[in-house]
Structure 1
Amino acid sequence: MRAEPDPADSDRTRTAMEEFSGGFAVRGDVLFEESIMPSIRPHEMLSEAWNEIEEPRRKEIASLVLFVTAVILALALVSYDPSDVAGAAGSRADGTGTHNWIGKPGGYVAHGCFTLFGWLGFLLPLVIGYIGHLHFRGRWDQRIRWPEYLGIVIVLTSVCALLAIIRMLTAEAQTSTAAWNAGGAIGFFLANRLLTLGNVGAIVVDLAALAVGLLLATPLLISDCFRGAVHTVNRWRTPFDEEETEEDLETLMPLETAPTIRTTLDEDRFTLPPLRTIDEIERHPGAEEPESPPTPKKPLKKQ
């Protein structure tokens, strides 16, 4: 018959462990001194190694990774086939029937993008590439701030909702399947919530959210766009006058400036015309400048 453990022995063992907790670490039934066996955390080691790299090099590495990710995602989306997903018609477990250019992983990633974002999934590679551009630009400009990321998220979600709303309001797409395919799960969920404000109210609120996202994610200003549009319309409405155009294109008369007189005596020396002193100018203010001596001609060398 197996003897029951004594509770007193367990209490003494626990007390001994607590006494050594400051200088020792427990690994199963063995005690290791912390100075001999320090605790190693892989994520801390990776973080320290990453921080040791200089800032410009880190930004270029991050930009390169983002650009490659955008290219791979674009290839996966372009070559997407629903049969690549397990359980779909025509799919095979060994992957021989995969149509996606990135293989099975590309098929699943593309399926997830289209499920979440709908048609907007094709825009995701551009968004990732834009984030990579911001990282690369940050080497000379400024660090990317969180409002820019927030603006990108708002733009994506608002466009998904707008696509789903448009599909819901069209006569030939009154089913939820069409709205799901257009805006994905995100757009379908937001469209159902926004349509409680009415058709017009849903579109107005969604467009306002899209404008806010663009203001956060890009240096675009609505006032600049409005002024540019007004200027373009005014130029288009103004009649074209050929006479005014010809007057604007008339050449201006050149300014009459006195040329600088300089004579040369040889190839190396220059003789400037004599100058008048201040006393001579005060005594004879209307006198003309003395003429410079003529330039002597060099004799021709006999051959």
Structure 2
Amino acid sequence: MRGKLKYTVLTHCLSAAGTLRQMFGKVKPEWETRVFASYDEYSHGPLPLSGASRDFFLQRQAFWQSLDLYDADAAHDFDLTDEHISLVEEIKASDLVEICVSDSVQDVFYAAVTLRLLADDGVDITGILARYFGGCQVKWGLGALRLEEMEDLYGASNAEPLDAQLFGDLCRAVSQGSGEAVRNFINERNTAPVFVKALSSYLLRFPQFNGGLGSIDRALLGAGTDQMKKSAYTIGSAMAKGMPEHDHIGDLILFKRLVELCGVTPDPWFRFEGDPRRMRSCSVRLTESGLKARARYSVQVL
């Protein structure tokens, strides 16, 4: 007698993975469902995809460990290589595999890079189904959905065979770290709306596509004040109100950039008080140069 159907689901967000596990346990208890998410976030740092996957993950690990300099309490000690090996083995043993993609920058980068790595390690990605999510329900990402919302959204969506060539071209575009490469991909390929929304938001990180000032700097300038405030307050305001709707950038990336803007010479945009490795205890304010930059680039005050 045949055992349970082995079903593997891939998603970028760890919190979305938890919700999906609850959902499948409730609506498909007869399935043996595994949900995989990633500790990585591929829209930042290098994407060295020309070598072996192990070399790729070692460089990604080094990138995240370099961010420990900006958080005295952080320790990026997870093993990305073991995570990937487990995923490859699980997929090869599965009856059905599906990847969930919303219209966020983070989901689209995750899908493109993960599928490329799986293909490089011998997985037939043409057998993987893609399930796309879009609309106002997922504007904060799949991880923000409650269980009932996930059930409704999942039930209203369809899984379809993924276009391996499209994802391959997408991966080549995003791995270059170039706004021009991403813009060319949007212009040359007839892509799904989730891709267009995500990649259009990603382009705003580049000054040449955002009025001379990238979206991260723009959000930080908009969140800053001329009075000393806790850095966590400035970062929280930038995250919640300053970033493009489809680009969910984490606090550590924003804090790293804030520290860098404090060190710009000769006219830094921000001034720190306290230990710049402790976001929740140090304070920051806009300098006169920062206020002038906010006016010069027509930055909206948050």
Place the TM-score, normalised by the shorter chain, in its bin: under 0.3
Bigger helix fraction: 1
TM-score by length of structure 2 reads 0.23
Bigger strand fraction: 2
Higher relative contact order (CA 8 A, sep 6+): 2
TM-score by length of structure 1 reads 0.22
